[in-house]
């Protein structure tokens, strides 16, 4: 779920809050650089495996 969206200095920032059914939370920031195909994904959680899983899902979605 996208929580917030904003544009700063030629970059589009999308913030997400993801909650697993077992109450594990992952916060993400997806930075889209305008005029470029470059993306930056930042993830934060107390659970390393959840971060790895969400990273894999983002990579899969963005590669298609």
Tell me what pLDDT residue 54 has.
95
CA atoms 54, 55, 56, 61: torsion sign: positive
The total number of structural domains that make up the chain? 1
Tell me what pLDDT residue 31 has.
95
Residue 34 structural domain: 2-63
Closest CA to 26 of 55, 63, 4, 5: 55
Please state the pTM of the whole predicted model.
Answer: 0.82
11: domain CATH number is 3.30.310.10
The structure tokens listed for 15 are: 């913030």
DSSP notation for 1-64 = -EEEEEEETTEEEEEEEEE-TTS-EEEEEEEEETTSS-EEEEEE-S-HHHHHHHHHHHHHHHH-
Tell me what pLDDT residue 48 has.
95
In order along its 64 residues, the chain shows pLDDT tens digits of 789 999 998 899 999 999 999 999 999 999 999 888 889 999 999 999 999 999 999 999 988 8
């Amino acid at each position: 779920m996208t929580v917030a969206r904003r544009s700063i200095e030629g970059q589009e920032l999308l913030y997400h809050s993801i909650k697993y059914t077992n109450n594990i939370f992952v916060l993400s920031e997806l930075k889209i650089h305008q005029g470029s195909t470059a993306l930056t994904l930042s993830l934060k959680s107390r659970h390393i495996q959840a971060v790895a899983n969400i990273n894999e899902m983002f990579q899969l979605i963005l590669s298609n």
